[in-house]
């Protein structure tokens, strides 16, 4: 069993794989004020509740966009799961050639998604991730990745509306029955959701036009991706587990080499 962990700005999402099969998934909120004991004990409890014995975990891999949690998280995994995790970082084997001007600026979550999409669906592929940010990343038929678009996610936009305006309320993000809203809540929902639908269609169209890839495949993931995918026919595949699948693919590519986890943990120890 391999435990894969995606540390996002909002949630930490985990998956337990037996071979290529996802046996269970679970998540917890990303919190920078957790100790290694809290992370380790919580992971043990969640694994147990998911029907996975700690003794069955053969390895762990992490992709994180929140550096502040890594020292405690890695320490908790080492102490309570007995494994030194691989960490998605520069130097890890991906099978993808990053051609951007500054590869080190590319978030590990985006690399993981690209690896998964290219491995599972080939290229050229545009990968959409509807998370805290909405990202659009292009990988070509040879596995080259150097083009990406980043936009505010719907949750960020919604939060800006109700926090930066005096009279707009906090709302649930969902698609209203009509864009012709007649009151405040549905007007906000219409703006957020139909705005995202319009943005998504336009960006896909422009990427296809400027890249010249008329055979471009479009793959989406992320918590709010299902709602948008149902409204955008240009999206061919919605895979809610794309990031977790990508982490398992990276684990398999790197398991014959020394894990990065030991180095990262020791660096964190020396800095604390």
Extents of the domains making up the chain? 2-88+257-271, 97-243
Structure confidence at residue 32 (pLDDT): 77
**Sign of the torsion formed by the C-alpha atoms of 90, 91, 96 and 101:** positive
The CATH architecture assigned to 2-88+257-271 reads 2-Layer Sandwich (3.30)
Q: Which residues, including other chains, have CB under 8 Å from residue 170's CB and lie 6 or more apart? A: 158, 162
Query: Which amino acids are annotated catalytic?
Result: 109
Q: Is the pLDDT of residue 144 over 60?
A: yes
The CA-based angle 13-101-69, given to 5 degrees, is 25
What's the confidence (pLDDT) of residue 261? 44
Output the pTM of the full model.
Answer: 0.87
- Residue 148 · residue 135 · CB < 8 Å: yes
> Positive or negative, the Cα torsion across 139, 142, 143, 146?
negative
Three-class DSSP labels, the chain: CEEEEEECCCEEEEEEEECCEEEEEEEEECCCCCCHHHHHHHHHHHHHHCCCCHHHCCEEEEEECCHHHHHHHHHHHHHHHCCCCEECCCCCCCCCEECCCCHHHCCHHHHHHHHHHHHHHCCCEEEEEECCEEEEEEECCCCEEEEEEEEECHHHHHHHHHHHCCCCCCCCCCCCCCCCCCCHHHHHHHHHHHHHHHHHHHHHHHHHHHHCCCCCEEEEECCCHHHHHCCCCCCCEECCCHHHHHHHHHHHHHCCCCCCHHHHHHHHHHHC
pLDDT band, residue 33 (cuts 50/70/90)? confident
Q: Categorize the per-residue pLDDT at 221 as very low, low, confident or very high, splitting at 50, 70 and 90.
A: very high
Higher pLDDT, 195 or 103: 195
pLDDT at 41 over 60: yes
List C-alpha distances in Å: 58 to 18, 53, 96, 146, 209: 10, 11, 25, 33, 45
Residue 258, pLDDT above cutoff 70: no
The reply to whether 97-243 shares the fold of 2-88+257-271 is yes
Check: CB of residue 51 under 8 Å from CB of residue 45: no
Position 260 scores a pLDDT of 46
| Averaged pLDDT score across all residues of the chain | 90
Give the class (CATH, top level) of 97-243.
alpha beta
pLDDT of 270 over the 60 cut: no
Mean pLDDT confidence for 105-113: 91
């Amino acid at each position: 069993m391999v435990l894969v962990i995606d540390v996002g700005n909002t949630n930490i999402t985990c998956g337990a794989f037996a071979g290529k099969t996802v046996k269970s998934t679970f998540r917890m909120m990303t919190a920078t004020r957790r100790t290694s004991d809290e992370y380790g004990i919580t992971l043990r409890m969640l694994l147990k509740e998911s029907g996975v014995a700690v003794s069955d975990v053969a390895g762990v891999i992490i992709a994180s966009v929140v550096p502040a949690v890594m020292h405690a998280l890695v320490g908790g995994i080492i102490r309570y799961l007995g494994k030194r995790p691989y960490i998605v970082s520069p130097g890890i084997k991906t099978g993808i050639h990053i051609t951007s001007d500054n590869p080190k600026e590319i978030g590990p979550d985006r690399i993981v998604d690209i690896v998964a999409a290219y491995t599972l669906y080939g290229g050229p592929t545009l990968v959409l991730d509807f998370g805290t940010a909405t990202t659009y990343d292009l990988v070509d038929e040879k596995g080259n990745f150097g083009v990406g678009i980043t936009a505010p996610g719907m949750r960020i936009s919604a939060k800006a509306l109700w926090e930066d305006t005096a009279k707009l309320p906090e709302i649930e993000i969902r698609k209203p029955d009509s864009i012709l809203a007649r009151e405040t809540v549905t007007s906000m929902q219409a703006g957020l959701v139909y705005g995202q639908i319009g943005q998504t269609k336009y960006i896909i169209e422009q990427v296809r036009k400027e890249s010249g890839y008329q055979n471009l495949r479009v793959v989406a993931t992320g918590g709010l991706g299902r709602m948008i995918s149902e409204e955008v026919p240009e999206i061919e595949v919605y895979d809610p587990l794309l990031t977790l699948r990508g982490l398992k693919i990276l684990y398999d590519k790197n398991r014959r080499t020394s894990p990065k986890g030991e180095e990262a943990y020791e660096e964190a120890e020396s800095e604390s």
